[in-house]
Structure 1
Amino acid sequence: MAASDAPDVVFALSRHGRRTVLSGGTAPPPPLPREDLRYETGSAAKAFTGLLLARLIHSGELSGGEPAAALLDEGRPAGANPVTLAHLITHTSGLPALPAGFYLRGLPAWHTNPYARFPAARVVDAFLRHRPRHRPGTRWRYSNYGVAVLGHALAAATGTPWEDLLTGQVLRPLGLNGTTLRADDSGFDARGHGKDGESPVPPFDAGGFQAAGAVRATPHDLLTFIEAHLDPNGAPSQLAPALRAVCRPVLRRGIGHRHVHTIAWFRHPTDGGPMYFHSGATLGQQAFLGFRPDTGTALAALCTRRFRAHDPFLATAYALLAQEE
């Protein structure tokens, strides 16, 4: 926690089901215990989106090969090389990190909530107008935009709003009652801070990018989510096949890369076996989620500060998960 150097820090670790949750920080303790607050997970929310897609595939509702544009614009022809749902979740869609026009539109709120200025309709419209630079499936490029489009495509395919879809298919079955997709006035949301560790940052509003980063959750809920990946047999039966599926490698980012990807996680080798992880950041908070089947370890690390370079928080969290003992 000292190495993380943030106003609020929580390290929640589970080893073979036995939990240890430690919290602290450079700021005075908040009114509620830090381990009971909800934290913004940023891009780590993509692990939830990947599990949802796997759930819909294993239930037979989708195949993953559906062209996203056809789902979002009924009657639209698929074309010769369509962007599929699988391309979107694996960052191989050919889409850039953010849609055209995002920077210009988000600039007035760049230090507060730029994503809030790009709502769902704009995300979908930008996608339907976009022409990928590369044939889908040929190159890896991390894209918040692509996963945001995936969320809208899944909502369209199922006829269910994104928040209801994720809640009904993932959050509720796992009993994640301390997990939401938006801030509220309940007092349970942790307050973010800028890179100086002192300036307050307003709650993150994902706008039309909910599937790419809207999840906010308590440390214990995040441990429950991660622990389910370590023991799919102990999870709700309807999620067990999907939990196994999101642990299978699906691509490697070229020769020489350690980065092997599943549809939900980065996967790195260790001497004992693979470790899975995903990090995320909003303007004022950061998160690191990960697990290792060989050591039975699950880790949810959270802090209320955004680092821009030489990030001590992520380095500390990664090193903790990488420990053999």
Structure 2
Amino acid sequence: MPWTSTNRIYAKPSNTSGGESVMAVPSTFTSQTAATDTGGRFELSDHGYGKSSVKLLHVHRDNDYHTVREFEVSTELKLISETAYVIGDNKEVVATDSQKNTIYLLAKKHGVKTPEEFGAVVVNHFLYMYKQVVAAKCRVVEYPWERLQAGVPHNHAFVFSPTATRWCEVSQTRHEAVAVKSGLSGLRVLKTTQSAFVDFVQDEYTTLPDAAERIFSTVVEAEWTYDSMRTANFDNAWLTVKDAILDKFAGPPDTGVYSPSVQHTLYQAEKVVLEKVPEITWVRMTMPNKHYLNIDLSKFPANVTKGDPRHHIYQPIDKPAGLIYAQLRRRQKSHL
């Protein structure tokens, strides 16, 4: 959901007289289209181009204490003109190499805070600088560096800690509000007890038995949107989502938490996110099963299977896998 009117950041077109924010569309921008080229038979229903996977390391040096953030940034622009496609006229094309340079220059000028804030700086820049750009999108993936702990936090050394990948997509159409979607991917978790799956449909197509005790493992993907930039704490929101997933999956360290299904665990995590981060409008999570199946040892003689009863062996099966997802959103308040 775009930010509300009180929180909107509008891009202003460049090269306008008197500071007008309404863009006059030159006739050359609209004269050559796929529709006119084909006599109305076809239309270019979507188009855009950009630079993908621009890698950027930002180091902030505050005397001896340094901080780092490493991003992989992709940009996408949509021009009001179709002439680059239809007749090969590149006069309005902002080269993808220029987009790459812009990412570095904006990082140098403004610094790098959160992926969401940097993405907003990038899309706003392209809409402000180039009147032929009608929409801009920026995807930012953050590399998970954490400060090295050497008894105390190290001033300038870091360790790569890929527990989960953080990403965001920031988009803006001219004269409209910025829209931000944040996400978490690759959070792989496993627990060895406190998980079951029973009382599901049993019919002539069913071979899966009830499992009152099973290994629960998944790779969590999550995404969410905000309704306000002014009050959103993007770093805190991302950490809250990750912590909610881990807490509802694992539970207390000594006793754990019971999971009757992946669906239930997923819903519980999403509910915590909306309860703890009021700026989040909706959250969607995907939890595919990563199966660890019991191995049938009944066909083997006891003398080769007998061993320490604390030993349990499972067979990892990645594919095929169950896929569970849900999206939880805030209900609109009734005006009655």
Quickly name the TM-score band, shorter chain normalised. Answer: under 0.3
Larger of the two Rg values belongs to structure: 2
Between Structure 1 and Structure 2, the one with more helix by share is 1
Q: Please give the TM-score of this superposition, normalised by the length of structure 1.
A: 0.22
Pick 1 or 2: higher relative contact order, CA cutoff 8 A, min separation 6. Answer: 1
Q: Please give the TM-score of this superposition, normalised by the length of structure 2.
A: 0.22
Between Structure 1 and Structure 2, the one with more strand by share is 2
